[in-house]
Structure 1
Amino acid sequence: MSKERQKHTPRPENDGPEDPARRDLLKGLATGAAVAGAATLHAGSVSAHEGSGPLGSTLRNPYGGRPAGGISLPEYFRPTKYMTGSNANYFPLTEELGPDEMRISFCGSTPYPPREDQAGTCIMVELGNGKRFFFDFGTGCVRNIIGMQVPGQLINDIFITHLHVDHYADVPYIFPFRAWSGGYTPLRIHGPSGRTPELGTKAMVDGMKQMLRWHLEAFDVFPIGDGYEIEVNEFDFRKEGGIVYDQDGVVVRSWPRSHAKDGAVGYRLDWNGLSFVWTGDGRPDELSRQYGKGADVFVTEMSGQDIGLLMTYKYGLPQELFNYTIDTHHTSHYAVGKLFADARPRLGMVTHYTQDDDIDAEMLAGIRAHYDGLFQWGLDVAVVNVTKDAIWYRKAAIPGKSGSVAPFRELARMEAEGKITLPDEIRPPQPRSSRAEQQDQKYRDMEIDPREYYPEDVFRAPAPEWPSDFAIRVDDVIPGRKNKPE
């Protein structure tokens, strides 16, 4: 476990003017370390020690120094005992979570615009008891979730922080395809109310279903079951620390946030003595500081880049637009550091941040103006493993062209652990509609006869109707089942 944090000794006020050479050295050290992605200490937090050399007089590890141990790294920053694969990268499907372990994966990390290297914000939290949760579900995150080898059919329990579309844009995308591919159970969505009913999560879901009506009805020709049902857990956004989820030892609380319009919240998940905090979007506030206290992993947004002049140079928009957006909606890098310094998490992270190499160093410098503890960037495919005695950060190595993995491997694991019992066969539900009910016959009559384009030796008779007696034998898709019922 970590040593007790040491307080920094401020510079004596009667030392007189600072030596310019010394000041330049400190700036060079801080900037160079930030560019390299290291955790640097800001000049205001360093201590002066009479008679020591220039390096020894300025740098202190707040957790207690160790030779070759880093300037901001605690003793607990090391691989967990359950990591049997690569410590350098996370390879999905190659390691199992320990029974008392948490894994946090960033499946998206940008507000706007989505890019090849950054999808919309989404944080996946997996627990050693088999539970999996998603916090926000932004544009393109499904691509990374599938790349993480999570079966699309098993995506569930989506917690939305607020109803800006960059926080739920992929929900209408996964919703019908999850059902089509075998997700025959209801989708569970958790989210805040609004100031009025029509501004809450339930109203958003109702509107989404109406928007998707053509798509949903078209997919009714497939087995869907209850996959089109959405169980909406809408809770009062005003409650401070209100419990919004409490099952299987997992407790999720929410609190209101200031994000220009009523209806934004942050979340804290507690399980088995471990905790994860995601603030969502908003101005730095007392409640986020309160519910972030002592968290194992405290993640906040940092879309407020309070460097308006530089942003004007880069994008040509007036800095007044950037300043106004920050001051009404978001958390600047300086405020991030203040939140972390006050909450003192085991690991502080930022996401919902449009990453740019040319401003990363400045962003880190702003954070370090207040916070000298363990810090990492919550960018796409970042993965954090957490136990009570260790925290480890890696990037996932996911395939660039990943297909959707079938759910049977995960179902087999759950059965082997005694969490579920699979039947001998699975019979998909019958379609709720037919093509004949949804399409005029004349358009089917326009189709080219398959015999015209199939080679003769591979021709098969078309299957225009779903086979009513179709079943999947579980032993065929999960050979060598463990704990198979007799």
Structure 2
Amino acid sequence: MTQDSQEEKINGDEAGPGQRPISRRDALKAAGLAGAAALATETVSSAQAADETPTAVQAKNPYGGVPSGGITLPPYYRPTPSLVSNNVYYPGQEQLGPDEMRISFIGSTPIPVTRAQAGTCIMVELGNGKRFFFDFGSGCVRNIIAMAVPLSVVNDIFLTHLHVDHYADLPYLFAFAPWMGRWKPLRVHGPSGRTPEDGIKAMIEGMKMMTRWHTDSFNACPIGDGYEVEVNEFDFRDDNGICYDKDGVTIRHWRRSHTKDGASAYRLDWNGLSFVWTGDGRPDERSLELAKGVDVFVTEVQPDTANLQAMKMGMPSVIMSTTIDQAHSPHYAVGYMFNKIQPRLAMVTHTTYDEELIPEITAGIRVHYSGLFPFGAPDVVIVDVTKDAIWTRKAAIPDAGNMARPSPAEAVELFGLTPTNLKVTFPNPRNPLADQLEAEILNGDIDPKKYYPPDVYREPKKDYPRDYTIDVREIALVKAKKAQAKLSEKAAQIQAVIDAIEGSK
């Protein structure tokens, strides 16, 4: 029997009554055609499905979209009433509204410090005239000066922990501010540690020892109590404990996981407005709970891009990734926290502002969070907050500039002035210069007449005058009259506008 006849017999046995037997060859052909048809059908179905599937995620504004309103911007993202310029903050030229909070990112990086980024420092100013500083990293003093804040009025510094990048400029402020007029003690707040040696009190004592030569030398100057430090060391374990409660301002703290016990986050509440700075640390449930309902939530971020950073910094990627796993919040976690907390404004700072990393950080955060999110970096990003509006912009600061003078309100508090006491009395120096220098050195100066032009020569005085007093009565009167004249001029201008409008009816 041939193979074909055998195939016909086999198929004939399987054929039903009245059916022509089909050979195996025909069956294989039919199966092939059926398979091709099925494949074609599947291909068409897949193509149709691809056509029906969106090519991108359909973005949606979480606050409710409006035409040309963006996909992350809420309706309350608009300028606050007190702004002089919607685009630029001009330090010293803008009066903060009485119900407004201003947050200034004075410094924004851990390491390395660059011309664009000083060490982390956040200044919070309130409409009641109070000002607070959260962390005080390397180089922040130069930006504080550029922001027209006199060093003599810098006080109430809250340190999240005692890594040097969070307090490096504190010794500089401590050493020089008394000579500039802060004759009252410096106030520093911060956590305790696992042992007394690990707390902020011990650090301040160490700072005093480190600067002893400097502070002793300035005893020949009028420094008053400027080298005293009022240290508010709170128990770092007291989660949600109050570490400041004065003038309607409440500041609370809680623990953070950051390589060693004694790292804290802060929350400031005032007049129905609130601000959180987590400091450094791992993403934690405690922050999710205690930051609920906050207006502005600021945390650190370290992008989990160790391979790229290894190429840039020459550091093994395992060092970078393990550092994140031990002590920091990766960008994906930051987005997760933002989404859980749902602040009115979410921000990150304390990060190296590498241009190529900003899109990656943003993308990682957007995995979980679609709300309002700007960077608190590079330096001098400004945030204005009221109950109805939030607005961000940048400050215009000089590359070089002199120290600003205290404002009248600051001078009143700094020198204890009242309407009946308008005299500023300088503290007497603790030591004459002769007590601090050997006679041979003290008397070894070149005769000033040898280098001064005769018409500008003055007799040198090695010691400050004692009981030196400035009567600011005339100064205050002149300023008050100038202010009165400006108000009268403004009132006249407003009346002229009113008259013009009414006359056009």
TM norm. shorter chain > 0.5: yes
Give the conservation status (yes or no) of the 8 Å contact 1:408–1:477. Answer: no
How many angstroms does 1:414 deviate by? 7.3
Query: 2:235 corresponds to which residue?
Result: 236
Query: 1:139 corresponds to which residue?
Result: 138
SS at 1:189 equivalent: strand
Give the conservation status (yes or no) of the 8 Å contact 1:408–1:478. Answer: no
- Residue 221 of structure 1 aligns to which amino acid in structure 2? A
Equivalent residue runs for 1:11-90 within 5 Å: 19=50, 26=56, 46=57, 58-83=58-83, 85-90=84-89
How many angstroms does 1:465 deviate by? 1.4
Q: Which moved more, 1:403-412 or 1:458-467?
A: 403-412
Q: Distance in 2 between matches of 1:257 and 1:293?
A: 16
Query: 1:219 corresponds to which residue?
Result: 218
Q: Distance in 1 between matches of 2:265 and 2:129?
A: 24
SS at 1:480 equivalent: helix
Between structures 1 and 2, the one with greater helix share: 2
Does the alignment pair 1:452 with 2:462? no
Structure 1's 99 and 125: CA in aligned 2 closer, same or farther, altered over 3 A? Answer: same
Equivalent residue runs for 1:163-178 within 5 Å: 163-178=162-177
How many angstroms does 1:178 deviate by? 0.7
How many angstroms does 1:411 deviate by? 3.1
Q: Distance in 1 between matches of 2:52 and 2:437?
A: 80
Equivalent residue runs for 1:147-226 within 5 Å: 147-226=146-225
SS at 1:357 equivalent: coil
SS at 2:177 equivalent: helix
Higher Rg of the two aligned structures: 2
Q: Distance in 2 between matches of 1:18 and 1:141?
A: 57
Query: Which of 343, 346, 369 is equivalent to 1:345?
Result: 343
Query: 1:320 corresponds to which residue?
Result: 318
SS at 1:377 equivalent: coil
Query: 1:272 corresponds to which residue?
Result: 271
Give the conservation status (yes or no) of the 8 Å contact 2:426–2:467. Answer: no
Equivalent residue runs for 1:62-141 within 5 Å: 62-83=62-83, 85-141=84-140
Can you list the C-alpha shifts for 1:325-344, whole angstroms capped at 9, x where unaligned? 00001011111101100000
Give the conservation status (yes or no) of the 8 Å contact 1:103–1:125. Answer: yes
How many angstroms does 1:166 deviate by? 0.6
Give the conservation status (yes or no) of the 8 Å contact 1:475–1:481. Answer: no
Q: Distance in 1 between matches of 2:475 and 2:266?
A: 38
Q: Distance in 1 between matches of 2:407 and 2:278?
A: 34
Structure 1's 100 and 344: CA in aligned 2 closer, same or farther, altered over 3 A? Answer: same
Give the conservation status (yes or no) of the 8 Å contact 2:296–2:343. Answer: yes
Structure 1's 174 and 414: CA in aligned 2 closer, same or farther, altered over 3 A? Answer: closer
- Residue 374 of structure 2 aligns to which amino acid in structure 1? Q
- Residue 70 of structure 1 aligns to which amino acid in structure 2? G
- Residue 293 of structure 2 aligns to which amino acid in structure 1? G
SS at 1:405 equivalent: coil
Structure 1's 193 and 61: CA in aligned 2 closer, same or farther, altered over 3 A? Answer: same
Equivalent residue runs for 1:356-395 within 5 Å: 356-379=354-377, 380-395=379-394
Q: Unmatched 5+ residue regions in structure 1?
A: 1-14, 27-45, 47-57
Can you list the C-alpha shifts for 1:180-206, whole angstroms capped at 9, x where unaligned? 111001110000000000110000000
- Residue 472 of structure 1 aligns to which amino acid in structure 2? I
Q: Distance in 1 between matches of 2:104 and 2:261?
A: 29
Q: Distance in 2 between matches of 1:117 and 1:272?
A: 33
Q: Distance in 2 between matches of 1:21 and 1:143?
A: 58
Query: 2:300 corresponds to which residue?
Result: 301
Q: Which moved more, 1:437-446 or 1:277-286?
A: 437-446
Q: Distance in 2 between matches of 1:188 and 1:477?
A: 30
RMSD: 2.2
Structure 1's 65 and 314: CA in aligned 2 closer, same or farther, altered over 3 A? Answer: same
- Residue 163 of structure 2 aligns to which amino acid in structure 1? H
Structure 1's 294 and 125: CA in aligned 2 closer, same or farther, altered over 3 A? Answer: same
How many angstroms does 1:408 deviate by? 4.1
TM-score (norm 2): 0.83
SS at 2:142 equivalent: helix
Give the conservation status (yes or no) of the 8 Å contact 1:123–1:134. Answer: yes
SS at 2:356 equivalent: helix
SS at 1:62 equivalent: coil
How many angstroms does 1:312 deviate by? 1.5
Give the conservation status (yes or no) of the 8 Å contact 2:259–2:327. Answer: yes
- Residue 260 of structure 2 aligns to which amino acid in structure 1? K
- Residue 336 of structure 2 aligns to which amino acid in structure 1? K
Q: Distance in 2 between matches of 1:115 and 1:333?
A: 22
Q: Distance in 2 between matches of 1:476 and 1:139?
A: 40
- Residue 71 of structure 1 aligns to which amino acid in structure 2? I
- Residue 66 of structure 1 aligns to which amino acid in structure 2? V
Equivalent residue runs for 1:455-466 within 5 Å: 455-466=453-464
Q: Distance in 2 between matches of 1:21 and 1:453?
A: 88
Q: Which moved more, 1:422-431 or 1:344-353?
A: 422-431
Structure 1's 124 and 20: CA in aligned 2 closer, same or farther, altered over 3 A? Answer: farther
- Residue 297 of structure 2 aligns to which amino acid in structure 1? F
Does the alignment pair 1:290 with 2:289? yes
How many angstroms does 1:425 deviate by? 1.2
Structure 1's 425 and 463: CA in aligned 2 closer, same or farther, altered over 3 A? Answer: same
Q: Distance in 2 between matches of 1:384 and 1:186?
A: 29
Give the conservation status (yes or no) of the 8 Å contact 2:193–2:261. Answer: yes
Structure 1's 209 and 413: CA in aligned 2 closer, same or farther, altered over 3 A? Answer: closer
Q: Distance in 2 between matches of 1:16 and 1:475?
A: 86
Give the conservation status (yes or no) of the 8 Å contact 2:153–2:410. Answer: no
Query: 1:423 corresponds to which residue?
Result: 421
SS at 2:289 equivalent: helix
Matched residue pairs, number? 434
Q: Distance in 1 between matches of 2:51 and 2:417?
A: 65
